[in-house]
Amino acid sequence: MPARILDGKALAQKVRKDVAVEVARLKAEHGLVPGLTVVLVGENSASQVYVRNKQSACEAAGMHGTIDRLAADTSEATLLATIDRLNADPAVHGILVQLPLPSQINERAVIERIDPLKDVDGFHPVNVGLLTIGMPRFVPCTPLGIQEMLVHHGVETRGAHAVILGRSQIVGKPMALLLVQKGIGGDSTVTICHTATRDAAAETRRADILIAAIGQPEAVRADWIKPGAVVIDVGMNRRSDGSLCGDVHYPGASEVASLITPVPGGVGPMTVAMLLRNTLRAALLAQS
Is 55 annotated in the active site?
no
Beta strands in the chain (DSSP E): 4-5, 35-41, 64-70, 94-97, 161-165, 189-193, 209-212, 230-233, 237-238, 244-245, 259-260
At 37, which amino acid appears?
A: T
Tell me which of 54, 118, 173, 226 is the catalytic residue.
54
Tell me which of 68, 98, 181, 226 is the catalytic residue.
98
Cβ–Cβ under 8 Å, residues 102 and 42: yes
DSSP single-letter state for residue 145: H
Is 223 annotated in the active site?
no
Tell me which of 68, 118, 119, 121 is the catalytic residue.
121
- Give every CB contact of residue 191 below 8 A, 6+ residues apart in sequence: 161, 162, 163, 164, 203, 206, 207
Query: What phi-psi label fits residue 22: left (phi over 0), alpha (psi between -120 and 50 degrees) or beta?
Result: alpha
> Radius of gyration of the chain from Cα atoms?
19
Q: Among 140, 207, 146, which Cα is nearest to 220's?
A: 207
Is 84 annotated in the active site?
no
Task: Please list the active-site residues.
Answer: 54, 98, 121
